[in-house]
Amino acid sequence: MNMDFVASSLPHVFNRDAIHNVRFEVNWKHIKERRQRLIQKHTDKENATRVPHQYNVNDTVRFQQYQHRKHGQPKYKGPYNMDRVNNNGTVRLRHATANGGTVYQTWNIRYLHPYKA
């Protein structure tokens, strides 16, 4: 029996078809390649709308708040100044507190947006 992809995992686990009494050969290489193609397709689609931006130390940014925020709250919080730019897609933000202290937070650049006053 030659099937490209089966929705059920039963034939993959037992190497037998669930309805017919025949041996089921799983083509794991084909399944892996198909999944990788789908991942690449979705990644390319997501990256097509991105605007490239290089972050630098002392840039002013704002970050996107949690998606399920309360009604009436702003979508972005900030502005914050960058203290450090890491090479793994994260930055360290510096924020002054009300009592004169400084708070540092590490954020992924996916949640950051350049601040324009």
Higher pLDDT, 25 or 110: 110
Tell me how far apart the alpha carbons of residues 5 and 31 are, in angstroms, rounded to a whole number.
Answer: 7
Higher pLDDT, 17 or 31: 31
Task: Report the run of H or E that residue 46 belongs to, with start and end.
Answer: helix 28-47
Average pLDDT of the segment spanning 42-64: 88
Tell me how far apart the alpha carbons of residues 104 and 114 are, in angstroms, rounded to a whole number.
Answer: 18
Predicted confidence band of residue 1 (pLDDT cuts 50, 70, 90) = very low
Average pLDDT of the segment spanning 79-106: 90
Terminal alpha carbon distance of the chain = 64
Across the chain, what does the average pLDDT equal? 82
- Is the pLDDT at 26 greater than 80? The verdict is no
- Is the pLDDT at 2 greater than 70? The verdict is no
Model pTM score: 0.54
Higher pLDDT, 81 or 6: 81
- Is the pLDDT at 43 greater than 70? The verdict is yes
